[in-house]
Amino acid sequence: MKINDDVLLGEIESARNNLKTDRLDMSFGEIISMYERDEIIINPEFQRFYRWTDYQKSRFLESVILGIPVPPIFVAEDTNGRWELVDGLQRLSSILSFFGILKTIPEKNNWQLESGDIVKSLEGFSQVDLPMKIQLNIKRATCRVEIIKWDSVYDMRYELFNRLNTGGTPLTDQEIRNCIYRGVSSKFNDFLKKLASNSKFIMLVDATQQQVSELYLEELVLRFLSMTHNVKNISLSMGQHMSEFMRDAVMNENFNYQKYESIFNQTVNILHPCGKKIFRSSNNVFATGFYDTIMIGIAENLHIYSGVSPKIIQNKVINEVKNDIVIRKISRSGGNNSVQRVRNRIKEANRIFGNR
């Protein structure tokens, strides 16, 4: 039903007021100087995810040298006025490493250009080999910096980054969540990272290196935490539900880290003997549906499965979960993260794992 203009305009105005931004056109030389003074922060969690190929780096530098406009970078201002880089990691890291000053990944510094798409003779040149005129042209090239002010509403910041995170090598949902909520506290981010580094969990998921670099393990941990004993509160898409759970946890000074860590580790310990195919379909693809069903099924019934023989667990997984008619029907019906589908999955998990 169409609402009146005053309501619409009021809602738009309220949303606009929740987001405080600024913008500056700066030279790369100015940005480099700010980075050297620690006024621009590239968080360590993101630095190891600098993953552009030599071709991508060379193509970007060629664009800068030729004066081709480059996309803006986005930073979040902290309470001390420093900027934390959020979107533009690959571009800025390429500039910093080309000039040999990327601080935490020195092995990435002082790389050589490949043949350009337009200027073929760039091949083999490092920063120090380029004519001084070209080095200065790179430093004088301008870049738009979009600034999200420290007192913006965090949900709106997440929405902004999510919408602007397009092209190139985009951030994943979990990378965005980590960045946004780190502005409040890094404690929950560190907690996710700690659980995701559990060697038994790593074995069970058997993620690719790219998935690891994109925080897929952390996202699976967050998915588990947000669903455990919490199915009644899943009213949004799983992505939104996970974001809200993380926001609430970050804001909650009394969040029970010990409780969640215990549930997670006990669940992983029980499932570990089953091997790395436990969450995989018949064609060896990681199946989120199996992950949800098995992890939550065990987590919500720990009193039944603590100390139980691995063979009993394997039988539950192979003969009951993966061959269950209802589970298979849910797996074929609709989007993997739809609210009703996730709820049905958890319901069936408790039906299967609720008794031996």
Residue-wise pLDDT for 7-27, tens only, equals 888 887 777 776 677 888 999
Rounded to whole angstroms, how far apart are CA atoms 349 and 343? 10
Residues in Cβ contact with 91 at an 8 Å cutoff, skipping those fewer than 6 apart: 60, 70, 71, 73, 168
Task: Dump pLDDT digits (tens) for 197-250.
Answer: 999 999 999 999 889 888 899 999 999 999 999 888 887 778 888 988 998 999
Task: Dump pLDDT digits (tens) for 83-107.
Answer: 888 778 889 999 999 999 988 788 8
Rounded to whole angstroms, how far apart are CA atoms 260 and 250? 14
Rounded to whole angstroms, how far apart are CA atoms 177 and 242? 9
- Residue 333: the pLDDT is 46
To the nearest whole number, what is the mean pLDDT of the chain?
83
Is pLDDT of 50 > 70? no
Phi, psi of 221 (to 5 degrees): -65, -45
Task: Dump pLDDT digits (tens) for 147-171.
Answer: 877 666 655 566 666 666 544 555 6
pLDDT band of 82, cuts 50, 70, 90 = confident
Residues in Cβ contact with 177 at an 8 Å cutoff, skipping those fewer than 6 apart: 158, 222, 242, 243, 246
What is the CB neighbour count within 10 angstroms for residue 97?
21
Is pLDDT of 313 > 90? no
Averaged pLDDT, 256-271: 96
pLDDT band of 140, cuts 50, 70, 90 = very high
CB 59 within 8 A of CB 97: no
Is pLDDT of 31 > 90? yes
Interhelix angle 216-227/187-196, nearest 10 degrees = 100
Alpha-carbon torsion (15, 17, 20, 24), positive or negative: positive
Is pLDDT of 73 > 60? yes
Is pLDDT of 49 > 70? no
CB 274 within 8 A of CB 317: yes
Which of 13-17, 71-75, 278-282 bottoms out in mean pLDDT, i.e. has the lowest?
13-17
pLDDT band of 61, cuts 50, 70, 90 = very high
Rounded to whole angstroms, how far apart are CA atoms 62 and 116? 6
pLDDT band of 195, cuts 50, 70, 90 = very high
Averaged pLDDT, 265-294: 89
Averaged pLDDT, 173-193: 79
- Residue 46: the pLDDT is 45
> Which of helix, strand or coil describes residue 135?
helix
